[in-house]
Amino acid sequence: MPIAKGDKNGTEAGGAKSFKYCIHCYADGKFTLPDLTADGMKAHVKGKLADMGFPKFTTGFFTRGIHKLERWKS
């Protein structure tokens, strides 16, 4: 999720804005769903995109890089 506008930032443990993670994924210095896998996130995002009316074939395009995000690099 783009967080460039600053109103979608998650928060670090001390309350500072996170510049890596959004409010849906990260709060108080921890992931909100710590056991979520990259594949689980892909499925979740594809569902949200479909709910928003995106054609199914485009959802794969928008989620193809999720496994490359810093959260799942290890």
**CA quadruple 64, 70, 73, 74: dihedral positive or negative?**
negative
pLDDT tens track for 35-63: 999 999 999 999 999 999 999 889 999 99
Q: Give the pTM.
A: 0.79
For 11-27, how does the pLDDT look when each residue is reduced to its tens digit (9 = 90+)?
999 999 998 899 989 99
Q: How many CB atoms lie within 10 A of CB 40?
A: 12
